[in-house]
Structures are given as structure tokens and as C-alpha cells.
Amino acid sequence: MIFPQTDQELIQLIADKLEEKGCHLSHKEVVTVFNVIKEEALFHYVDQVISQADTIIEINPSLSEQEILEALARNVVEFLSAEAASIRIYDPEKEEMVSFGSFPTEAGDREGAIPFEDSIAGEVVKTGLSYFVPNILKEEKYKNKERVQRYGIRSMLAVPISIPRFSLRDLDTEGCLQIYFKEGEKFFTPLEARIAEMLAKRVSYVVARKRIVGLQKLNVTKDRIVEQIFIKLGKRGGVKMKEIFNLVIPELADIMRIRRCSLFSVMEDRRHVVLEAGFPEIQHGIGKVFEVANAPYIQTIVDQTGPFGDFENEKVYPTYVHILYPQISHLLPPDLKRFLEIQQIHSVLYIPLNIGGKVQYFLTFDAQARHPGFSDEEIEIFTFFGKELMKGLKLEKMDDILHDFKNPAIAVAGFAKRLHKILAGGEYPAKKGKVDQALEIILKETSRIQELALTLHGEGREEVVDLAEKLRKRAMINEETLGELKRENVRLIEGKLEQPLWVRCYPLHIERVLDNLFNNASNAIPEEGGNVSIRSYRKDGWAVAEISNTGQISEEDKERYLHGEGRGRGLHITTRLVKQMGGKMEMESGEGQTTLRILLPLIRE
């Protein structure tokens, strides 16, 4: 029988060890011993290790942290046939190793704290490695030798232990599990240390589960609603942050006495933030951009420069900023103070949300009640909620991008077919101009598709563009799209285009806005057919792009559309992007025609 290289090495190792002990076996007999170890003894031992690990993972998470760690100590003591075990946790502020439970509990009459430096427990935390003490009485780093002599303890194995942070303000808790034996001059095998380390690591799962259970108990209603909302919105074919806020925040507000809530995202330049969603929405300028430097509270949240701690009017920490007295806080600008006073807001909480070590989003909660402070559990609830909103926002943006893929994709297909027809018919030299135009549009639209995909990771950079020229080009692309969709009943009419109309924006944003408006306008054309017309002009410092279509809507629907509340995603995307560009929308309908205007701040080139 041919054995793998690893098995051959083990067989030779067994033979050598037996020879050292004076036991001379033939190669066949050694192979028999190897097979017994591998197939029977090893199976039973591994099974015991797995069973012990499962026992630790199944520790009741409703126990306190200390009780969980004491249950770990008991399991390790029983599995390794040790005498006792104790846990020490590192306190970075005092630079001490604090006693945090033991097994058996009567073995806990030890010092409440020992120095971090020049101690076994401190060395384990510092290096992250296990520490072997064959003889405690000879170990310089173990100071209280009288106690171990009293209990008959002679040797010790110390292994690192890491526990998920108990509060959001703390780092992960580092500590040491010390396992005591009566055997003197004990030889610790690498296997014993590795098993002890593995069992110690498993307790982190229990503490993590405890935190999750705690969150569920503290906010069962919120968890149930969030789950229902995501399932509901998923079935409806897309996520809209506005709907999430409108459904979830009332429940959260009722529990935590929160009156208003907002979600901001930090832009790529990290000098601006965008208001992504808010409750109640009527009080928020969704899509509005704020400068970080002009708002000390935003700068404190985004830059995370500190100083941190409890101050007279604020509590500032990396995980939250709590404004105790808004009207006298130096972090809030005067206009925000006036608004909060009108709204009778007496306490404001900000929750930074980190991605990749940087604050990319933050939540704000305005409360009418004067909160002297928030518990760690409440901060955890808000942070958990914020992370769920971050997921929802990413899903919303993904849905928006998928929605906006349609127009450039159809246009590319249309111009590609036109190009193929010209080339296949041998008409190239005669129709070179049309070929060049088709190739240029295909190149630009495929680049635009790529840019749409990249918006999940960033917006690119702002540029100065001619709104009138963008309107003209998007009209031409959408005319091709209508042709591909066999919409012969829709006629595109190009009215007067005053240009240039210089505006500053992300080019992709204005293209997405115009495409969505063209799409909505053409879809609103009655079955008997009609026109979509465009016009551009200046008006009181604004650059205006106007798209009109045959057909009219009610006043009720007009107000609803201007708030982005159409059945599809187009108007929802449009209203958000227009606000982000510092613009506004107007709509009028009558005499069988509906006109929608986009107004953006006009600038000099």
C-alpha cells in the first residue's frame, strides 16, 4: 500500500519514537499502529474537541459577559483536566489586567487587578501568543506565589482571548485565559495550547450572539418592521429610501421619542455632504448639498479629529456626537439653531457610519425630549439601523442605475443596426457622415453605460456644461430610442434652443435627468399619438431646459410628480439629482399639453 508523503513521515516518526522507548516493531506492525491511531484514536479525540467547541458556542447568550467567560473557563478546565482557570481583561485606560471571573468561583480570591507590564497576562495580550509556565514558583512574571502554593498549583498555560467590544466606544476587548494545573514541571504540548486557543476564540461567537439577542430584545418592533419593509419593497421591484423612512421612522420615533431623522452621505471630495433621505420628508431638502467647512458639527462628524469626551454642551465620541443643549452648542450654526428652536428640538444625536475606516454616511436624530445621554444599547440600535439604511441606499442607487441603463443601451443597439445596414449595403463612402455620427454616438453611449456602473463607487467630477447642448443631444438619442421601440406615434420637435447655457454639474447627472424626462414625456403620449418638444432659455439667473408632451395631468398628479412620487423610478431619480445640482423643477399642464422645466443655476464659463 502506498501512503501519501505526510502519512509516510508520520509512520516514520512513530517508528523512531518506539525505537527510542526500546520497542522494536516491523514496518508492517508500525503501519498497523498508525492505522489504529488515524482511524480510531484520532477520530475519538477530534470528536471530543469538536463536541467541546460546540458546547462553548452553545453557551446561553442571555448570560452576562462574566458568566459567559466563566462558562468558557469551566469547559476548558474539564476538557484539559486542569485544576482551575481565570480570566483577566486588559483595561487600556489604567493599563491593568482586571480580574473578570474564574472557575471554580471559589478560586476567584485573587487581586482585582495586576499591572499590564511585567505580568504573564499582559505579555499574552501584548504578543497575542500563548505563554507556557512549567513551574510557577520559578516564573518571575508570576508575583503572587503564596496563593498558588496554598492551592497546590504548580504549572500554568495562558492563552489570548479576544471579545467583541462591549460598547461602541471601546475597542475590541483583549484578555487572557489562565489555566492552572497541579502537575509540576509540566510539559505542554503544542496540541494542548492550540486546543485551548481554539476554545477561547469560540467564546467570541457567544458574545456576538449575545449582542444580537440584546438588540432584538431592545428593538423587536424595529427589527420586525425593517425586515417587512425590505421584503415588501423587494417584491415591488425596487427600494426607495423615502418609503423606508416613511414606514420605519414613526415606529422608531415612538420608541425613542425621535421627531426627525436624516441620512447624509459624504461626497468624494469629502468637502461636501448630500442629504439622501429624511423623515418627515416635507421638512427636508432631499438632494441638498452642504459644505463641511461651513458646519462645525458636520466637520466634527466627518473628519473625526476630536477632541473626544464629555463636554458642557456636547458629548463627542468617534461613534456618536450628542448635542445636549442645541441653542448654546458651539457646533451648530445659527440658522440650524433657529430651525431647531422653531421645531422645539431639545436634543440632537449624530451617528457616523464608517466604511473602510472613513465616515461615508451619518444619521441625525432630533428629539423633543431633553436626553441627558444615550446608553450603549441605544447607540447600538441607532448604528444598526444606520447600517441597514446604508444597505437600502446602495440598493436604491443600484435600482436607479439599472433603470437608467435602458436609454443608452437601446440607442447603442439602434445606431449599431444603422451602421451595420450601411456597411452591409456597400454605402460606406457615400454615407461617411452618417457612419461617423453613428460611431461617435455609440462610443459616447457605451462610455456613459460604463460611467453609470462606476457611479456605485463615485460620482466622477463636476464640469461646466452647456445645458442647451445636452438637451439637444439627449433629444437626438431619445429619438433613436423611440425608433428602436417602434414608437412611430411620437414625434420629436426641436424648438428654440438659446445657447450656451453654462451650468456646473456632474455631466452624467444631467444626462440621466434629461433621459428620464424624455422617457416620461414619451410614455405620457396618448395612444393616438402626439409630440414631444424641447426648448431652452435664460430666466432670472437660471438656465432652463423645457420638455413638453401632448396630454395633460391633474393638479393632484402634478404636485405628486414634482415630489418624485410617480409610479416609476424616473421622477424619483430626477427630483433627487436636480436638488443635488442646486436646481428646481416646475410643471404646468393645460390645453392638452404638459410641460416640465428643469432650472439650474446659470454661471459664467
Which CATH number is 126's domain given? Answer: 3.30.450.40
pLDDT for residue 102 is more than 50: yes
Query: Rounded distance, CA 139 to CA 158, Å?
Result: 13
pLDDT, position 424 = 75
- pLDDT at 383 > cutoff 80: no
Q: How far apart are CA 220 and CA 208, in angstroms?
A: 17
Considering the domain architecture, whether residues 198 and 276 belong to the same structural domain is answered as: no
Same domain for 190 and 260: no
Residues 597/546, Cβ–Cβ less than 8 Å: yes
The Cβ-side half-sphere exposure at 420, using a 13 Å CA radius, reads 6
259 and 280 within one domain: yes
Indicate if the pLDDT at residue 57 is higher than 70.
yes
Top-confidence residue, 262 or 238: 262
Res 134: pLDDT: 92
In this structure, the answer to whether residues 201 and 268 fall within a common structural domain is no
Is residue 327 domain-resident? Answer: yes
* Reported confidence tier of residue 565, pLDDT bands at 50, 70, 90: low
Cis peptide bond upstream of 507, omega within 30: no
Number of domains within the chain: 3
If asked whether residues 153 and 230 sit together in one domain, one would say: no
Is pLDDT above 80 for 319? yes
Domain membership of residue 451 (yes or no) is: no
Task: Assess whether 205 and 247 both reside in one domain.
Answer: no
Last residue of a domain, one of 382, 408, 442: 382
Asked which of 129-133, 264-268, 560-564 is least confident by mean pLDDT, the reply is 560-564
Last residue within a domain, chosen from 367, 382, 397: 382
The radius of gyration of the chain's CA atoms, rounded to the nearest angstrom, is 34
Please, what's the b/e burial string for 567-597 (b: 16 or more CB within 10 A of its CB; e: otherwise)?
eebbbbbbbbbbbbbebebeeebeeeebbbb
Which phi and psi angles does 451 have, rounded to 5°? -65, -40
Instruction: Kindly give, in sequence order, each residue whose CB lies less than 8 Å from that of residue 583, ignoring residues fewer than 6 positions away.
Output: 542, 598, 599, 600, 601
- 20-40 per-position pLDDT tens digit: 888 888 888 878 887 887 777
Lowest mean pLDDT among 172-176, 217-221, 515-519: 217-221
Assigned domain for 406 exists = no
Confidence of residue 322 (pLDDT cuts 50, 70, 90): very high
Instruction: Indicate whether 224 and 109 sit together in one domain.
Output: no
Per-residue pLDDT band at 170 (split at 50, 70, 90): very low
Q: Average pLDDT over the chain, rounded to whole?
A: 79
Q: What is the pLDDT of residue 215?
A: 56
C-alpha cell read off for 547: 420638455
Whether the per-residue pLDDT at 377 is higher than 50: the answer is yes
Indicate the pLDDT class of residue 122, thresholds 50, 70 and 90.
very high
468 within a domain of the structure (yes/no): yes
Q: Is 444 helix (H, G, I), strand (E, B) or coil?
A: helix
d(CA 335, CA 102) in angstroms, rounded, equals 56
Question: Is-contact 116 122, C-beta < 8 A?
Answer: yes
Q: Rounded mean pLDDT of 575-591?
A: 83
- The whole-number average pLDDT for the span 122-139 is 91
Q: Say how far apart CA 529 and CA 488 lie, in whole Å.
A: 8
Q: Is 491 a member of any domain?
A: yes
Residue 202 C-alpha cell reads as: 469560540
Q: Residue 517's pLDDT is what?
A: 87
Asked whether the predicted pLDDT for residue 19 surpasses 70, the reply is yes
* The residue to which cell 440600535 is assigned: 381
Instruction: Kindly indicate the confidence band of residue 458, based on its pLDDT and cuts at 50, 70 and 90.
Output: low
Same domain, 199 and 224: no
- Tell me, yes or no, whether 568 lies in a domain: yes
Average pLDDT for residues 441-465, to the nearest whole number? Answer: 66
Tell me: do 209 and 227 sit in the same domain.
no
User: What confidence tens digit (pLDDT) does each residue in 411-430 have?
Assistant: 777 777 777 777 777 777 76
| Confidence grade of residue 80 (pLDDT, cut at 50, 70, 90) | confident
- Residue 224, pLDDT score: 56
Q: What is the pLDDT of residues 218-251, one digit of tens each?
A: 556 556 555 655 555 555 545 566 666 666 666 6
Same domain, 233 and 205: no
**pTM of the predicted model, to two decimals?**
0.46
C-alpha to C-alpha distances, 207 to 177, 200, 212, nearest whole angstrom: 16, 12, 9
Q: Please name which of 381, 396, 404, 384 lies closest in space to residue 243, comparing C-alpha atoms.
A: 396
Q: Assess contact for 347 and 322: CB atoms under 8 A.
A: yes
Percent of the chain whose pLDDT exceeds 90 = 11
User: What distance in Å separates the CA atoms of residue 417 and residue 522, rounded to the nearest whole number?
Assistant: 22
Answer whether residue 181 shows pLDDT above 90: yes
Q: What is the pLDDT of residue 124?
A: 92
**125 pLDDT tier (thresholds 50, 70, 90):** very high
Greatest mean pLDDT range, 108-112, 394-398, 424-428: 424-428
Is the pLDDT higher at 108 or at 78? 78
Distance CA 398, CA 400 (A): 5
In a domain, 486, yes or no: yes
3-state secondary structure of 290: strand
Provide the pairing of β-strand 584-590 with 358-367: unpaired
Domain that holds residue 66: 59-215
**Do residues 203 and 63 share a domain?**
yes
Give the three-class secondary structure for 110: coil
Is the residue at 408 inside a domain? no
Per-residue pLDDT reduced to its tens digit, 479-494 = 877 776 777 788 888 8
Position 531 confidence tier, pLDDT thresholds 50, 70, 90 = confident
Domain boundary among 345, 360, 382: 382
Q: In this structure, what CATH number is given to the domain that contains residue 585? A: 3.30.565.10
Q: Which residues of 505-529 are buried (b: 16+ CB within 10 A; e: fewer)?
A: bbbbbbbbbbbbbbbbbbebbeeee
State the maximum Cα–Cα separation within the chain, in Å, rounded to a whole number. 110
Do 254 and 119 lie in a common domain? no
User: What's 41's DSSP letter?
Assistant: I
Section 361-383 average pLDDT: 77
